[in-house]
């Protein structure tokens, strides 16, 4: 794992801890296609179709349930 991937993983882990303490049931993001693999490895799932955010590029909505539905 490279330095940035390790830091990204730490950031997601800490963020999930904070959100769980605040009893947030789910969080989502617009993930760049190039970064979607990192989110998938962290347990997030894709929702819907791939879409474009101009001028940034192609994205997909990723989400993670922190509580049982």
At 63 the three-state DSSP class reads: strand
Indicate if the pLDDT at residue 68 is higher than 70: no
Class of domain 3-65: alpha beta
For the chain, the domains span 3-65
12-53 pLDDT per residue, tens: 999 999 999 999 999 999 999 999 999 999 999 999 999 999
Task: Return the pLDDT at 28.
Answer: 97
Task: Return the pLDDT at 65.
Answer: 96
The strands making up 26-32's β-sheet, listed across from edge to edge, are 26-32, 57-65, 45-53
Report pTM: 0.84
Between the alpha carbon of residue 53 and those of residues 31, 43, 44, the distances in Å are: 10, 23, 20
Residue in this structure with the two tokens 């347990």, named with its chain if needed: 43
Task: Return the pLDDT at 63.
Answer: 97
Task: Return the pLDDT at 1.
Answer: 66
């Amino acid at each position: 794992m490279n330095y940035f991937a390790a830091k990204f993983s730490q950031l997601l882990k800490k963020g999930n801890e904070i959100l769980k303490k605040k009893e947030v049931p789910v969080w989502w993001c617009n993930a760049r296609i190039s970064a979607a693999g990192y989110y998938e490895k962290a347990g997030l799932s894709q929702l819907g179709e791939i879409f474009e955010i101009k001028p940034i590029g192609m994205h997909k909505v990723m989400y993670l349930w922190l509580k049982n539905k």
